[in-house]
Structure 1
Amino acid sequence: MLIIKNVSKSFREATQTSTILNNIHWQINRAEWCSVVGPSGTGKTTLLHCISGLLQPDEGHVHFKGTDIYSLSEKKRSNWRRKHLGFIFQDFKLLPHYSVLDNVALPLIFDEAKGPLYDRAKEKLKLVGLEETFFSRLPGGLSGGEKQRVAIARSLIAEPDILICDEPTGNLDSDNRDKIADLFSELKKSGQAILMVTHDPEIARKGDKTYQLSGGSLFVKEVTA
């Protein structure tokens, strides 16, 4: 489904250039959960952003079902991301002046009739354990864990082919963490591919494969499936 070929990315600060990703090769298949681990600062978020079309690599290609996403115009790439990819950001990216329900529906707000779309948004919120009392609230009135679950619900609104997760359980208590992990397992069974960066080894092991990102290189650390 997703093929990453020779992806490299460097950043320049003052007179020094730091190579974050070095010639990454990777393939993520349908109904596969891949976890990525590694110390902070090794480029895990950069890798996710390159794969998802948010940050163009210096070299290499990212193919989704045979199409190089960086050969698309910025507008077409944005539309591809909106319809085929769900992204759970580490810092949530919720719009502060929109309700919880609006935030979840927002990716498809211009594509679908509001009635069915908002019904689906409510279903996604209930999937992550947020009931109707939360729907009209603003993000500023939520705890970190509640914001995390709203961000997860939003990532699911388009029924994406690929779910890309940057520390999706980092703000959750152990009970909600386990419930979200179970939800991801069910999504995988339904055919979605899951690519997850996590510092939680227990969550990482729930996937099919765990990869280590270190020194700009990616290698298989553990196969659990």
Structure 2
Amino acid sequence: MSVVDEEVSAFVENMTSTYNQKMTTAVRENFTDDYFDSLGGPEAVMKKQFPAQAWREFYNGTLPPARQMTQVYELGEPYGRDRDIIVGLGKQLSDEVKHARILANLSEELGTSCDLATWEGENYDKFVSKCRTTTEWDEPHHIAAGLQCSTEIIAARTLERIGEYVEDDYPDITASLRDIAADEGDHIHVGRLIMKRFASPDELDTLDEIAERKYDAAVSVLESL
């Protein structure tokens, strides 16, 4: 591995670790038992959270990797060196659609409509803004900086936290939420591959700025839920 590759690799690993900690803290600080109790308990929490989480899994989960797949096709070697990235992004797209469907179905079972083609919850503009902050970049590693290598973990931590809260009353739902969360590691892995393969040392400050901007947008959404 060259000195340049080592610099980028170390940057990516540090970014992933740092934002894992930051996102975990943000979820814990915003989704406390007291906050969930104030919503009315486990069923009320799920009715409020599941449609929003389904929307985020679908839109935040599919639009950015779909764009990355096209970018890697245009900028990389999709039939050669970068096949592992193409396959990883394909898995992420499949996973996120599955996650959104599970959450939407759970929402419907609880009596809350969740048609992702029409749903617009409270503060919908913040959801859209966050998605755009992630998606609207012209290179795949820029998207990875704002998603897989930074704030991707927020989805897993949010679902794990909701699962903890509702587990005594809804153990089967908690198991489903943990199954969803378990997929996020693969998505982070493909983001790391993209960053290490396409980023250069002179871009690291820019990538840091993208990640921090997305972090701010993610926290703003958390605070609005």
The answer to whether the superposition gives a TM-score over 0.5 is no
Query: Which protein is richer in helix relative to its size?
Result: 2
Query: Which protein is richer in strand relative to its size?
Result: 1
> So what's the TM-score if we normalise by structure 2?
0.26
> So what's the TM-score if we normalise by structure 1?
0.26
